[in-house]
Structure 1
Amino acid sequence: MFGFNMFDNVGRTFKTQYRCYSVSMLPGNERQDVEKGGKIIMPPSALDQLSRLNIVYPMLFKLTNKKTERMTHSGVLEFVADEGKIYLPYWMMRNLLLEEGGLVQVESATLPVATYSKFQPQSIDFLDITNPKAVLENALRSFACLTTSDVIAIRYNKKDYELLVLETKPGKAVSIIECDMSVEFTSPVGYTEPWQKEAPLQETEDMAVDSTDYQDTTQFVPFHGSGHRLDGKKKGTEVKSSQGQNAQMKRGIPNYDYKKGKITFIRAPKPAERTADESCSESIFEAFSGEGQTLRRKGMKGKQ
């Protein structure tokens, strides 16, 4: 039995076909650790064959759907599947366009160590994650490799997020086991940039309008009745501006001649002197002109 052909398997690659099924079809308890990662479960015969071949560790495999020519890469988690079957995460079966029980070719592969990867979230819900890089780093611990154009699935806070692998360096497929990899994200699918606020319109000379146009005489004007002054002078409506011109003050109209750093004190004009006839014909209000009363009479001063 021993001869020159006893080492024929040394240096050969592992290549065979299996019936593939999703992890939910795996007998026994539910295996969420397989579903949320990027590794497959193979039969024990595969381990026996791999141990007799010169396979480079860690074990990485190229999975190909011959019907659709779709391809991806994965690692292996366990060798406990039934003979002739392998179990894949559901997201991997969707990338390969495989149905339950479909044939898939499994071939051993050697991949370069990753240095860079770029992802695109497939939903804007991914923006709700506070630290997406930390979440992705923790999720990729269950993966062995990445393939460009794959849509991987990660789970965070009991919710699944899908990420499209846009780019990997230094190759189209890379190993991410014990590597220092830079990660970038692009805008999620369906994300739109917020509208930029328009700059406020600046008033030009053509747009300037006379301030008197804004005065509405039909509106209620508070304190518009007549009044009396305590000094006896008549309340006037004409005031003298800081420039020496008489201007009527209107409520709600700003002073457009105001200059920064300048304070203007508006004073009432001095009332004109009245003649004797005008004083007699028009009664002038005098403040505190009534008679007063005292508690002590004049004749009782000094008497107890």
Structure 2
Amino acid sequence: MFQLGFNLFHEISRPFNMTYRCFSVSMLPGNERQDVERGGKIIMPPSALEQLTRLNIEYPMIFKLTNKKTRRITHCGVLEFVADEGKVYLPHWMMANLVLEEGALLQVESVSLPTATFSKFQPLSEDFLDISNPKAVLENCLRNFSCLTTGDVIAIKYNSKVYELCVLETKPGNAVIIIECDMNVEFAPPVGYKEDERVSRGEEFSEGMEEDPEGMMPEPEGFIAFRGEGNRLDGKKKKLTSESESEPQASHSRQPYVRGIPDYNYQIGTLRFIRNYRSANAKEEIPTEPFEAFKGEGFTLRSAKSK
């Protein structure tokens, strides 16, 4: 009876706290692990898994990484337990945040974090603005992360290019879990970004297209008839009688605007269907002879001699 009574009580949770030699993923024996570099998870030894199964810890497994020399702290998840005994393998960006060298000592401790509700990121390069939908790209990349820590600089890869983002703020705490949660995301202006100096592509397009499309036609080449100028015998300049004569002769020598050049006055949200209509004054061609049905001639296969 006493044994049954003791089993009714929950086992007191004991934290996991170990110290390992840390190395970057590039030092991991075997094939290169790009899935580790793109996320926020580490690789631990099999003995850590055996010890974690004996402890009453919360899931998902979240660990606090501490560099005692620099007192830098971050949080991460675990991807696999295949590392050599006494070693852990980290992404390169995580080692940079902790200011760790290859083979340095790292304290790994299991912790429990709140679920994220808000996070704010700041790109470290203006190239991040070239992404058409940054929130969707970030959401897809954060699937390889288990948690976020305020002050960390995470690295995400998109279209074979690595973008670094600084985690400016997280709620409801400085470290949060981002697994199966509804999190609002905001972006701060990139480092070194100046709105006055950066002109959007739409403004550049609109400013460049104010010119008449006919003026963009190439200058004619070769012989052009009647391109000369007239001179008076007395040496005086000819008086201009109309505005049309004041225009430079070169403007009349340009090729006419032809169909096939884009509509530079196009406005977003409108569609134009251009068709060729006959003018009202154009007269339809009248057939010379009226149409008569079955007016054709017939032929027979018999020759005239057989009749």
Normalising by structure 1, we get a TM-score of 0.63
Unaligned stretches of 5+ residues in structure 2: 200-235, 247-307
**Would you tell me which structure has more helix in proportion to its own residues?**
2
Post-superposition offset of 1:10: 4.4
The alignment covers a number of residue pairs equal to: 201
Distance across 2 between alignment mates of 1:225 and 1:148: 76
The verdict on how the C-alpha distance between 1:162 and 1:11 changes in structure 2, with shifts beyond 3 A counting, is same
Name the structure 2 match of 1:37: 39
Q: Which of 1 and 2 has greater Rg? A: 1
Name the structure 2 match of 1:78: 80
Post-superposition offset of 1:194: 1.7
Post-superposition offset of 1:111: 0.4
Distance across 2 between alignment mates of 1:148 and 1:33: 23
Aligned-residue Cα RMSD (Å) equals: 2.6
Give the letter aligned to residue 161 of structure 1.
Answer: Y
Name the structure 1 match of 2:225: none
Name the structure 2 match of 1:165: 167
Distance across 1 between alignment mates of 2:198 and 2:36: 45
User: CA deviation digits over 1:153-201, x for unaligned, max 9?
Assistant: 000000100000000000000000000000000100111112599xxxx
Name the structure 1 match of 2:154: 152
Unaligned stretches of 5+ residues in structure 1: 198-220, 227-250, 252-304
Contact 1:10 1:52 in 2 (8 A): no
Distance across 2 between alignment mates of 1:51 and 1:193: 53
Name the structure 1 match of 2:15: 13
User: CA deviation digits over 1:99-152, x for unaligned, max 9?
Assistant: 000000000010000000000000001111110000000000000000000000
Give the letter aligned to residue 67 of structure 2.
Answer: N
The reply to whether residue 87 of structure 1 matches residue 102 of structure 2 is no
The verdict on how the C-alpha distance between 1:196 and 1:60 changes in structure 2, with shifts beyond 3 A counting, is closer
Name the structure 1 match of 2:122: 120
Distance across 1 between alignment mates of 2:28 and 2:154: 21
Post-superposition offset of 1:223: 4.4
Post-superposition offset of 1:28: 0.6
The verdict on how the C-alpha distance between 1:176 and 1:225 changes in structure 2, with shifts beyond 3 A counting, is closer
Give the letter aligned to residue 96 of structure 1.
Answer: L
Percent identity over the alignment is 72
- Aligned equivalent of 1:191, options 168, 190, 193: 193
Normalising by structure 2, we get a TM-score of 0.62
The verdict on how the C-alpha distance between 1:76 and 1:192 changes in structure 2, with shifts beyond 3 A counting, is same
Name the structure 1 match of 2:239: 224
Name the structure 1 match of 2:250: none
Give the letter aligned to residue 42 of structure 2.
Answer: I
The verdict on how the C-alpha distance between 1:196 and 1:113 changes in structure 2, with shifts beyond 3 A counting, is closer
Q: Structure 1 stretches (4+) deviating beyond 6 angstroms?
A: none
